[in-house]
Structure 1
Amino acid sequence: MFRLNFKIALRNLWKNKGYTLINVGGLAIGLASCMVLLLYVAYEWGYDRQSKNFADTYVVYQHQPSSTGTMSWAWTPGVLAPDLAASVPGAVTASHSSYPEAQLLTYHQNFFKKPGVYSDPQFLKMMDYKFLKGNPDRALREVNSIVLTETMAKNLFGDEDPINKVIKFNNKEELKVDGVIADIPKNSSIIFDYLMPWSFWETQLPFIKASGWGNNFCLTLLQLQKGQDYSKANELASQVLRKHQNGATGYYSLHKLSKWHLYNEYQNGKPVGGKIDQVRIFFLLAFCILLIACVNFMNLSTARSEKRAKEVGVRKAIGSTRASLMGQFMLESLLLSILGMMVAFVLIEMSLPYFNGLLHTELLIEYSDWKFWAVFGGLTLVTGCIAGSYPAFYLSSFEPLQVLKGFKMTGSTSLSVRQVLVVFQFVFAACLIICTAVIYQQLNYIKGKSIGYNKNNLIEIPLQGPMRANEQKMKLLKDQLLKSGAVTDVTFFSRSISEGGHNTFGVSWQGKSPKEEVLFNYRSTGYDFPKTMGSGMISGRDFSPEYTDSTNVIVNETAVKTMGLKNPVGSVIEFWDKPVKIIGVMKDFVMENPYSQTAPMIIYNKMEDTEVVLARLNARANVSSSIEKIKEVTEKLNPGFPVDTKFVDDSFEEKFQNEKLLGIIANWFGGFAIFISCLGLLGLALFMAEQRKKEISIRKVLGASNMNILTLLNKDFIKLVVIADLIAFPIAYVIVNKWLSAYSFRVSISVLPFAIALCLSLIIAILTVSVQSVKVAKANPVDALKYE
């Protein structure tokens, strides 16, 4: 019986090639879209899960209550790790490490500036990196040693064996290669190209060894024994700071390493989400698109009900049971689903390079992984069953006597189900159109919002090697850059202008409550900072060589409001327990998150604390030639170090990556959903044209024009689309309102996105239906009425 049904299914598919192609195309697009999105979801879900210890490894967060809420960050003191390892029962080990920072490595003529991490041997054991060369038990134990990743070792040494070879660090220190580990997967929160001992960091920066509980500068990881009670360990960790600092109001908590990437946003000391929200959206989007493809198949299959009715009647008349007929229709559906899967494979392989570039990921199909085949095979089977379920039940229900006498609708039930399916498709499509419009409105709103400085033609150059902390060389660099004509203004800054970090609670002023804790950003800068930034002074003056400014500071507008200073210029406040005088007030400018309120900031003048050159390119000169001049001047004064120029507007643009990604993904997959929905609408148009063929012919005989017929056919579909939009509007409003609530600065929800969705859906529906309606309206009425 199966063999017979299989032959009949193949003949039907081959006989109706147009329907087969449309169905296979719709299912292929649905399956491919679903699998690409699921690959991305699996990639994001797999973050920081590469080590065998990931389930028992925790990131230590510090929380500091303040008057504006509890601040949370994963920066901790260097003395915390050994204390946790000794004081928390069930702790296997604890590790402290720096965050990745780009440094220069040189071997003979090969040199690369790549991110590296200072860590301890416990870090290697905890993260369970795969050693390709060297002894993992000896790694990072000698002060002047280094562990390279496979790619870094290949870049530096080529085919040479790197073990025990000596490389230069920042053209100064010599480091011996102790080991080579496999490259770090891209879905890791800690990405680096080499590891150096913590003890080596202490020789580079003596304050590291001397720092106490008040300095937060490193990442701390804690590994517990399997099955150890997390809540008890978390409670003990929360008491550590108070135990070592009298009167401390801050505390620590443990955050699962496997959740660090997905749940990285905190509110009042509690994780509230983060990237997980985007992952959930993509997961839901994947199955919605697949469901729309299944609905499309149902509509197209049942649209051909009249052509299949006589086949069903004859087979039932000669003894076929309803179960065998359902089996045949399900088999046809599964065959189409399998064909769709094959086409989907091609689409996935073709689209993955594009999406990898877009998502900055390494998505790939693991053909040797049984889990991939289980998911893909399961999706294909489920798709075939869902898509074929309604046609199988509906087509097999026809009564032989009725269909052999002449097929006609026995009621409006099937039409109602079909209408519901089309409404569902357009509800989803309208929601995607509205969400995409709001995402782009929010993006444009933030981009159009003043950031407090002019980012155009502004570049950053990191200070490296002998140039760093050398005031004489820095002054000479500034003079040479200005003389070259490549730039018009130059200053120095303690961090990249677009980065966070460098904050403190150590600012006090007259009238401040002893219990009040306010987090201030602090930065060190050279002369001409406001001028170079293109940001004005509200009052007072900038730092100047004409004055002694070692005990003077500049604050921003938010700092003045926070401290409640009516006449800030000339006021004396305390900064790290030392009295300093405010000499100027700058406008607020965006550094970290353009979506959040600007934090209070204090700026001081200490050249040895600066790490970055900020320069304004000469607008009258060619950009490329200016960059070349800058490199030439910098390399001459600081030989042996590559010059990494970075445009500030590029750095600023990176802050909108998540929103741009959401918008692009919504565009692409929303387009796929709309395309598949159009196929479903076409199926319903075919069905209605089939049912109303004689009615339309009679109307034409009685004098109805083609326009009358088009209006008659389109009217019902316009009603369906309007109903779909009315259902979609409140759903979309709830979704976008929840999404926007995460931003301090957000666009108000206007009528425009809803109007766009309504107009687009109506235009799409009318164009889709008109393709079939025109064909029906132009048909000769004699063909439909000649048997009457």
Structure 2
Amino acid sequence: MLKNYLIITVRNILRHKLFFFINIFGLATSMCICLIALMAIKDQLNYDTFHPQADRTYRITTEIKNPDGNHFQLASSPLPLTETILKEYALAEHAVRLYPALKGMASSRGKELDLKGAFTDPAFFAVFGFTLEKGDIKTALSAPNSLILSKETASKFFGSTEPIGQVISLQELGDFQVTGVLADAPGKSHITFEAFASMASVPVLEKSGKLTEKLTQWNSVMEGYTYITLKETASKRKLTEALNQISAHLTELDKSNNGSTINFEAQALPSITPGKDLYNDIGKGYTRKMVAGVISISLIILLSACFNYTNLSIAKSLTRAKEVGIRKVAGAFRYQIFMQFILEAIVISLLSLGVACLLLMLIIDYTPFGPETPPDTYMFLYFLVFSLFAGLMAGTLPAWVLSSFQPVRALKNLTAVKLFGSVNVRKSLIVSQFVLSLVATIFLMVTYRQFNYMIHAEYGFSAKDILTIPLQGTSYPLLSSELSKVNGVERISAVSTNMGRDVTDNIELKVQPGSNPVRVGYYAVDANFIANMRLKLLAGHTFPATASSIEKQIIINERALAALGIQTPVEAIDRVLWMNDSSQVRIAGVLKDFHYQPLSNPIGTMALYYNPEAVNYLNVKVTHIHSSVLIQQLEQAWKKINPSQPFTYSWFEKDLNERRSAWDLISTLGFLAFLAITIAYLGLLGMVTFTAETRQKEISIRKVMGASVWDLVVLLSKSFVVLLLVAGLIALPLGYLGGTVFLYNFAYRVAIGADILVISFMGLLAIGLLAISTQTYRVAAANPADILRNE
């Protein structure tokens, strides 16, 4: 029997190739998205599963409430909290802090890399279960200025050279000795730092002024992360009670909090990823809301595709009514016919799975929005089960409806079949699909226009014809001198971080000791930087070519000028400021405000700090950018100064445009919009086909009575055009609202013009009319004799 079912299924597929292609393509596209979602969710559920005593380990989070009733939940907590819990409460078996202040440019053996790490306690290994490939766990994080590296970072710095005992120098923090190399973790973790230094280093660094004092500051809730592994005799309830006592004590001590309160909560380690949506979180895992959103969107897409399959299947299967009637007259039971149609749906679903897997491979290999890791064997088994589920879900209703036909009615040919009991449900789903498609299209166009504006906007500095060369530990004065000899080099400047990104770091400036500090983002630059970037000075002068190391100089922008309470740019010149409470700087000039960060950020307080020793990049202004000879000469000059490091470069303007274009986001939105439109088109096509098939006799009679083809096309189409218009009336304000909310993420943004709404709606209307007209014209142009000959 199964063999006969398969033979009939293959014959029907070969007989109706286009119909089955549409069904397979529709299911495959939606299944592809669902497969990506399955892989993403499986990946997220694999976080933090290998840590020992995970059931007894908690991260302490912070909740702050201000007098206005607003509250903020932070993943971080004050650094003194760990010591307080260990000393005053007999709850913790282990406690560890993560303090991500270990960052900046690091150099060793002529190599220079941007390092992102954290200070931590020796209990790090006991709490998280990480192991060392090289080094001793007992002593690796004990001594001050000891450092352990991830395996990848150690390889970048030292290659095949033994890393243990090597020294890595951080520009702002000094020298650290490598005491260990982490082994590859047995699973995924939300802790992904490249290096860990001993917490014993922090008191020395704070005392020397290299780090701002945070170890004993309870009001520094953004700085560190606290993890507690409870004793077997302790419980989360007792930990919560202890945290409440600490919170109450802090609130009582701080009489100047103006009604603000601070509370600490214990978050179980396995619930961090996926977990709550917290400010200042570390790691790159999903929150629970994100996982729920992925599941919801995937199910909606799959249900839409299954609905389309159901509509198309019933519409086309009405032509098989005689087959059903004859089989029943010949003695077939209903369940046998039901199983025939179910088997067809499962075969279609399995074929769709094959196409979906091909699409998935293409997405992984050639697009920026595929999953991070390819599917494994178990994942393909999940895919197979998912495909069977999709086939059953899509095929059950058509199989139930078609197997219920009475032989007499089936042999006379059916004229109508009600789906879901009412055509209004189908119409509502069609409208919903087109609403989703139109909203996605509007959102895509708004996003494209915003990022296109960001690419062509004037930022206030010049990146044109500038070559960016990472120093990689090379001597800035020597390299600058050698490159300046190359024909075609117009000017050379140096900077710690190129404009258009985040600032290098933040400093606190005071007009006098004891006054309120102003937090200012800064870049370390040399004397040529302002001229090379074509920045405009409102007052003062640029840095001198030979500035005294004793007299530190700074140039601020207009926003910093206002924040410091200085009235005019002229008044600011030669004013002395206190920087980080530890040193004095003199204002050499005031810059006109410009966009030193992406347009998503408003112009803030910014300063250029004269410090050639802290620069990381050379910006080389050239006169002929397309000359390969120029690049070769620059490379030769580089090798004279640093032959051990490869010469690397990039064009500043190109890098800036790539960062501003957000191609990953736009291509992802474009793919999703295409998918939504495709599913909506197939849904409308299925409903039009269904209606046309069930009204063939009526159309034929009207045509015999003298109705023209155009009259019949209008008759069949008008109700569907109304559905498209209703979808437009719903989607246009929703799309406008969604686009407006999205644009609020940018300090400087475009307006949503009427052209975006009109073009989006007209484009989708054209697609809908294409689906309607092709099917209605086919039925209206058919020969009435072919339809009525059996009546």
In the other structure, the counterpart of 2:606 is: 601
Q: Offset of 1:131 from its aligned partner?
A: 4.4
In the other structure, the counterpart of 1:726 is: 729
The question of 1:559 aligning with 2:560 is answered yes
In the other structure, the counterpart of 2:787 is: 784
Are the counterparts in 2 of residues 40 and 363 from structure 1 also a CA contact under 8 Å? no
In the other structure, the counterpart of 1:470 is: none
Question: Structure 2: how far apart are the matches of 1:415 and 1:668?
Answer: 31
In the other structure, the counterpart of 2:510 is: 507
Matching of residues 18-57 of structure 1 within 5 Å: 18-43=18-43, 51-52=51-52, 56=57
Letter in 1 for 2:601: S
Q: Offset of 1:783 from its aligned partner?
A: 1.7
Q: Deviations over 1:617-649 (max 9, x none)?
A: 213354655455445445534564555545444
Q: Offset of 1:297 from its aligned partner?
A: 0.4
Question: Structure 1: how far apart are the matches of 2:477 and 2:263?
Answer: 42
Structure 2 gaps, min length 5 = none
The question of 1:539 aligning with 2:539 is answered yes
Q: Structure 1 residues 678 and 72, CA, compared in 2 at 3 Å: closer, same or farther?
A: closer
Question: Structure 2: how far apart are the matches of 1:702 and 1:414?
Answer: 30
Task: Identify the range of structure 1 (289-298 vs 718-727) with the bigger mean alpha-carbon deviation.
Answer: 718-727
Letter in 1 for 2:762: C
The question of 1:339 aligning with 2:340 is answered no
Q: Which of 287, 290, 306 lines up with 1:294 in the alignment?
A: 306
Is the partner of 2:35 in helix, strand or coil? Answer: helix
Are the counterparts in 2 of residues 504 and 522 from structure 1 also a CA contact under 8 Å? yes
Are the counterparts in 2 of residues 77 and 212 from structure 1 also a CA contact under 8 Å? no
The question of 1:620 aligning with 2:657 is answered no
The question of 1:430 aligning with 2:438 is answered yes
Count of aligned positions: 763
Question: Structure 1: how far apart are the matches of 2:753 and 2:400?
Answer: 44
The question of 1:364 aligning with 2:406 is answered no
Are the counterparts in 2 of residues 535 and 587 from structure 1 also a CA contact under 8 Å? yes
Task: Identify the range of structure 1 (701-710 vs 766-775) with the bigger mean alpha-carbon deviation.
Answer: 701-710
Question: Structure 2: how far apart are the matches of 1:210 and 1:304?
Answer: 73
In the other structure, the counterpart of 2:491 is: 489
Q: Deviations over 1:218-253 (max 9, x none)?
A: 963321135535755666787999999998999897
Matching of residues 647-726 of structure 1 within 5 Å: 647-649=651-653, 652-653=656-657, 655-656=659-660, 660-701=663-704, 704-726=707-729
Q: Offset of 1:98 from its aligned partner?
A: 4.6
Are the counterparts in 2 of residues 456 and 649 from structure 1 also a CA contact under 8 Å? yes
Question: Structure 2: how far apart are the matches of 1:408 and 1:58?
Answer: 65
Is the partner of 2:593 in helix, strand or coil? Answer: coil
Task: Identify the range of structure 1 (249-258 vs 217-226) with the bigger mean alpha-carbon deviation.
Answer: 249-258
Is the partner of 1:225 in helix, strand or coil? Answer: strand
Question: Structure 2: how far apart are the matches of 1:486 and 1:329?
Answer: 74
> TM-score, normalized by length of structure 2?
0.79
Q: Structure 1 residues 534 and 604, CA, compared in 2 at 3 Å: closer, same or farther?
A: same
Q: Structure 1 residues 210 and 616, CA, compared in 2 at 3 Å: closer, same or farther?
A: closer
Question: Structure 1: how far apart are the matches of 2:666 and 2:447?
Answer: 6
Question: Structure 2: how far apart are the matches of 1:255 and 1:407?
Answer: 65
Q: Structure 1 residues 350 and 140, CA, compared in 2 at 3 Å: closer, same or farther?
A: same
Question: Structure 2: how far apart are the matches of 1:94 and 1:70?
Answer: 26
Question: Structure 1: how far apart are the matches of 2:471 and 2:246?
Answer: 38
Structure 1 gaps, min length 5 = 468-473
Are the counterparts in 2 of residues 681 and 769 from structure 1 also a CA contact under 8 Å? yes
Question: Structure 2: how far apart are the matches of 1:71 and 1:531?
Answer: 43
Letter in 1 for 2:390: T
Are the counterparts in 2 of residues 433 and 753 from structure 1 also a CA contact under 8 Å? no
Letter in 1 for 2:593: D
Q: Offset of 1:30 from its aligned partner?
A: 1.6
In the other structure, the counterpart of 1:471 is: none
Are the counterparts in 1 of residues 496 and 615 from structure 2 also a CA contact under 8 Å? yes
Q: Offset of 1:676 from its aligned partner?
A: 3.2
Question: Structure 1: how far apart are the matches of 2:352 and 2:442?
Answer: 30
Q: Structure 1 residues 13 and 354, CA, compared in 2 at 3 Å: closer, same or farther?
A: same
Q: Structure 1 residues 132 and 346, CA, compared in 2 at 3 Å: closer, same or farther?
A: farther
Are the counterparts in 2 of residues 117 and 195 from structure 1 also a CA contact under 8 Å? yes
In the other structure, the counterpart of 2:529 is: 529
Q: Offset of 1:485 from its aligned partner?
A: 4.2
In the other structure, the counterpart of 1:223 is: 227
Matching of residues 563-582 of structure 1 within 5 Å: 563-571=564-572, 572=575, 574-576=577-579, 577=581, 581-582=586-587
Is the partner of 1:363 in helix, strand or coil? Answer: coil
**Alignment identity in percent?**
26
> TM-score, normalized by length of structure 1?
0.79
Q: Which of 386, 390, 394 lines up with 2:393 in the alignment?
A: 386
Q: Offset of 1:181 from its aligned partner?
A: 0.8
Q: Offset of 1:324 from its aligned partner?
A: 6.4
Q: Offset of 1:303 from its aligned partner?
A: 0.5
Q: Offset of 1:317 from its aligned partner?
A: 6.0
Are the counterparts in 2 of residues 458 and 647 from structure 1 also a CA contact under 8 Å? yes
Q: Which of 429, 450, 453 lines up with 1:442 in the alignment?
A: 450
Are the counterparts in 2 of residues 460 and 647 from structure 1 also a CA contact under 8 Å? yes
Are the counterparts in 2 of residues 553 and 581 from structure 1 also a CA contact under 8 Å? yes
Question: Structure 2: how far apart are the matches of 1:360 and 1:535?
Answer: 41
Are the counterparts in 2 of residues 423 and 721 from structure 1 also a CA contact under 8 Å? yes
In the other structure, the counterpart of 2:615 is: 611
Q: Offset of 1:365 from its aligned partner?
A: 0.7
